[in-house]
Every structure is written in C-alpha cells, then in structure tokens.
Structure 1
Amino acid sequence: MKQMPLTIDILNYGLELSMDFGENWLQPINERLSSVFPNLSAQKLEECHLICKTVNKMGNRYVQENPVHTGTEITFIAFEAFEKFMLNKYHWVSAKNLKRLYSQSCYYAYK
C-alpha cells in the first residue's frame, strides 16, 4: 500500500493541533491527527509531529531572541518580520497559523 504523503493541508492541520491549549497543550499530535487522516502511517504521523514541534520552537525562539527596544520598554518584533522569517523556512504555513504562532510566541516571550 502506498504511503499517504504529508500535504500542506495535513501539515497545517498538524500545526494547528500542536498549538492547542488546555488538555492537549504540548501533547503529541499523532493520535488526534490520525483521527482526521486515518491513512497516515505511524511514521508519517511522527514525522508531522516532529515538523510541527520544530516550527513551534523556531517561532518561539525567533520572537524571544529578537526583542525590540524602545526606550525603557521591550516590545516584540513586528509580525511582518516574523512572517518573512518563518515563510522563508516553512513556506507551507498558512496565514491563520502564522498569526496564531506569532501570538503564542509573543505570549511565551513575555512570560
């Protein structure tokens, strides 16, 4: 049987799952992803999980390591710069997921 490839839709759905708060916060996405895409092999599910985890870490790190100093205040890098950086590495990330990842990355950087 031919393995189902990781499409842009699957990767974006996985990324959306990886950013869940609540009981699924920071939990593997494999099982939840397989309920929507039952034809994905265990290997592809794990691959998607690892890709999404990497994207989250990259976004979080980029915001945290690039603060903007304005006088005595520290703010976050502009969304446009974040978007350009992330899309250069992960061209498949949807606009919706980019906005959510930026928001979460700012939240984590603030903490």
Structure 2
Amino acid sequence: MFGTNKTCMNLNPEILNIGLDFSMEFGENWLKPINQRLLNKFPNLNLVELEKYNSVCKEVNNIANDFVYDNPAKNEKELTFIEFSKFENFMLQNFSWISKENLKRLYNQSCYYAYK
C-alpha cells in the first residue's frame, strides 16, 4: 500500500487531511485530481509532492471503499454495513493520520458506494 503509515512519514498530516477532504468532494470536482486545489492552498508544494498527496488520497478512498464493500454485515431483513468502529480501526491501523471528521465522511461515502 502506497499510503500506509510507513510511506506517509514524509508527508504532512494536515495537508493529507485537507487533500483527503478535497478528494471526497462531490459536484464539479468529483473524482478529479486534487493537485491544483492543494497547490492553491499550499503554493510552496512542488509537482512531485502534489502527485504524492493525490496518490495517497486516491488510495485511501479506494481502500476504504473496498473494505466496506468486502465486509458487509447482513441481518435477516436488509443489507447493513460494517460497524463504524471496525472501519475506523482498520483505517487507522493503515493511515493513522486520518482525522475523525474525514473518517466519518469516508465511512459514509464508502457505505454509499457499496450500496450502489
């Protein structure tokens, strides 16, 4: 995994969280690279750094989506999703820098995509 704790050591957690927030935007920026938006907020980042942040945030989204999709919790009446606490534990084991706010949003979006 590219974005795991070990490979994110040289990346700023604040910038990672802002980038992750950007990567989850709907509307005009949905699924678009975050490079330009990060550059607008952090003009001192170079192209290589911008691409690293973009790649990590993309990977976080993919891993979260896959984890929720691959771990459904079923009851007799309807499909439900893995408990947030299990999702949170899994994600923080791999990406300890993710903020609580981003974790909640990531979980909600992953459940939405798994339902579709």
State the TM-score, normalizing by the size of structure 2.
0.90
Structure 1 equivalent of residue 29 of structure 2: 24
How many residues were matched structurally? 107
In structure 2, what is the Cα distance between the partners aligned to 1:93 and 1:26?
A: 19
Structure 2 equivalent of residue 62 of structure 1: 67
Shift of 1:72: 3.7
Structure 1 equivalent of residue 91 of structure 2: 86
In structure 1, what is the Cα distance between the partners aligned to 2:22 and 2:77?
A: 37
* Higher RCO (CA < 8 A, seq sep 6+): 2
Following superposition, which runs of at least 4 residues in structure 1 exceed 6 angstroms of deviation? none
In structure 1, what is the Cα distance between the partners aligned to 2:68 and 2:61?
A: 11
1:65-105: CA deviations, max 9, x gaps? 00011114210000000000000000000000000000000
Shift of 1:52: 0.2
Which of these two proteins has the greater Rg computed from alpha carbons? 1
1:10 to 15, 33, 41: 15
In structure 2, what is the Cα distance between the partners aligned to 1:92 and 1:67?
A: 25
SS in 2 for 1:92: coil
CA RMSD of aligned residues (A): 0.8
Shift of 1:44: 0.2
SS in 2 for 1:58: helix
